Amino acid sequence: MKKIAILCSGGDVSGMNAALKRFVEYALLKKMQPYFIEHGYEGMIDDHIYPVGYKEVAGIITKGGTIIKSARSKRFLEKHYRTQALKNLKAHGIEGVVVLGGDGSFKGMQKLSQESDISFSGIPATIDNDIAGTEYCLGVDTALNIIKNAIDAIRDTASSFDRAFVIETMGRECGYLALVSALTSGAELCLIPEIPYDLHTYKERFLREKSAGRDYFVAIVSEALDQTQTLVTWFEKEIGIESRATVLGHVQRGGNPTVYDRLMAYRFVTHAIDGLLEGRKDAVICYNDGGFGYRSIEDVAFVDYMIPEELLLLGKEYGIKEGTTGTSPV
């Protein structure tokens, strides 16, 4: 294999630039010519493909987002556009492609693999951490640290004004970010789609704690539930405390990548390139139990992700505090 390329697809995450840096340097170390594909699959269709070297990745490791841009491509669903994309790859002599993205990106990768002899290697990169087969996706640690800093700051003002703050995290249909953030920030309430909840379970406890001297609350809620404003109203009407909502939004996707995400980018890319050199045609690099392995796209992109049971059990404790009635979890 003489020429390989890399692209970013779907939502950007902090750590992508660290991955690009490692990709270029490791490819050159292995005597291959690295290429960048800008704007994901859209750029592959439009031939935004070019060779790169050390200069293009100098100084990028500290930056969030991705210097080669990302995109979601509706055109890629149509075969004639995929055919054009493959023609562009072949015109450049590219034999292997590394794809940073989520399950939708991997499904696109599978299509290209089935329709050509080009090899593909996927790296899970999404702050949602909702990719089956891997316990960690690139960018998650940075996102969690951004959320942690926001919650810590909001708790300061919540305590100063005797308010309840409802903080909405991203995560698409997955409650991982909300759950881990709640557990590690000492939040009083956490609502996620994976755990059924009944607000009546909380009312008695919150009213009792309020009468005993608690003068503020911090609640974390996943965007998947679309209950942020409802929860603000509930705090004001049922608990009798002034409330505010904070939607963290896309701030969770950017920012200076943490040391952990930089290291994971380095390790993910190393295994991705090694997999291509070993002859793997369509593998996704997965991280579990402290080690890396290769899984087929079918075992990743077409399987629903489940939050580890250990974390769910910790989350359920929110709804069974001592002295509460009922058995409804979070």
Q: Are 159 and 172 in contact (CB under 8 A)?
A: no
Residues 6+ apart with CB under 8 A from 15: 125, 138, 139, 142, 257, 261, 262, 264, 265
Q: Are 66 and 20 in contact (CB under 8 A)?
A: yes
- Residue 56's identity, in one-letter code, is E
DSSP 115-163: TSS-EEEEEEB-TT---TT-S--BTHHHHHHHHHHHHHHHHHHHHHHT-
Structure tokens at 267: 């390790």
- Residue 309's identity, in one-letter code, is E
DSSP helix/strand/coil, 233: helix
Q: Of 12, 128, 141, 282, which one is the catalytic site residue? A: 128
Alpha-carbon span 67 to 47, nearest angstrom? 17
Q: 148: burial class by Cβ within 10 Å (0-12, 13-18, 19+)?
A: middle
Alpha-carbon span 106 to 111, nearest angstrom? 9
The answer to whether residue 274 is catalytic is no
Q: Are 276 and 121 in contact (CB under 8 A)?
A: yes
The position carrying tokens 């696109």 is 108
Smallest CA-to-CA distance from 204 within 229, 232, 239, 233 is with 239
Residue 42 sits at the vertex; the CA angle it makes with 26 and 294, to the nearest 5 degrees, is 45
Q: Which residues are catalytic?
A: 128
